[in-house]
Amino acid sequence: MKGFFSNFKGDAFGGLTAGIVALPLALAFGVSSGLGPSAGLYGAIFISFFAALFGGTNTQISGPTAPMTAVSMVVIAGIIAANDGSLEKALPAILTVFLLGGLMQIGLGVIGLGKYIRYIPYPVVSGFMTAIGVIILLTQILPSLGYYPKEDAEFVSRFKAQSEEVILENILKEEAGEGILVLEDFKETISRAGNISQDDILMESETLAAKEASGALGALKVLPRALRNINWLELLLAIGTIIIIYGFKRITKVVPSTLVALVIMSGIAYGFGLNYRPIEEIPSGIPLPRWEIFTGFSLSSITPYIFTALTLALLGAIDSLLTSVVADNMTKTKHKPNKELLGQGIGNSIAALFGGIPGAGATIRTVVNINSGGKTRLSGMIAGLVLLVIMLGFAPVASKIPAAVLAGILITVGIGVMDYKGLKAIPSLPRDIKLGPIKLSSEVLIMLVVLVLSTFWNLVYAVGIGLIIASLMFMKKIGDLTAERSDVKALKEEAWKDEKDFPKRLKEEVFIKHVKGPLFFGSTSDFQQLAAQIPETASAVIMRLDRMQYMDQSGLYAMEEMIMDVQKKDIKVLFVGLLRQPRYMMERIDIIPDLIPEAHVFEDFDSCVEDLLEDIN
Euclidean distance between CA atoms 180 and 515, whole angstroms: 72
**SS3 state at 434:** strand
Rounded to the nearest 10°, the torsion over CA 442, 414, 208, 151 is -160
Residue-wise burial string across 433-449, b where 16 or more C-beta atoms lie within 10 A, e elsewhere: beeeeeeebbbbbbbbb
**SS3 state at 81:** helix
Residue-wise burial string across 374-386, b where 16 or more C-beta atoms lie within 10 A, e elsewhere: bbbbbbbbbbbbb
Q: Are 66 and 417 in contact (CB under 8 A)?
A: yes
Note the pLDDT tens digit of each residue in 241-252.
999 999 988 887
Q: Are 500 and 531 in contact (CB under 8 A)?
A: no
Give which of 478, 465, 410 is closest to 28, Cα–Cα: 410
CA 467 to chain centre: 11
Euclidean distance between CA atoms 151 and 225, whole angstroms: 12
Task: Give pLDDT < 50 ranges for the chain.
Answer: 1-2, 488-493
272 secondary structure, DSSP code: T
Rg (CA), the chain: 32
Note the pLDDT of residue 21.
83
Note the pLDDT of residue 492.
45
Listing DSSP states for 241-262 in one string gives HHHHHHHHHHH-SSS-HHHHHH
Euclidean distance between CA atoms 380 and 294, whole angstroms: 29
Note the pLDDT of residue 145.
93
> Under 8 Å CB-to-CB from 307, ≥6 apart: which residues?
460
**SS3 state at 141:** helix
Provide the 10 A C-beta neighbour count for residue 166.
17
> Under 8 Å CB-to-CB from 340, ≥6 apart: which residues?
55, 56, 57, 60, 109, 114, 320, 321, 324, 361
Listing DSSP states for 161-174 in one string gives HHHHHHHHHHHHHH
Note the pLDDT of residue 207.
81
Whether residue 593 is preceded by a cis peptide bond, meaning omega within 30 degrees of 0, is yes
**SS3 state at 322:** helix
422 secondary structure, DSSP code: H
Euclidean distance between CA atoms 103 and 309, whole angstroms: 9
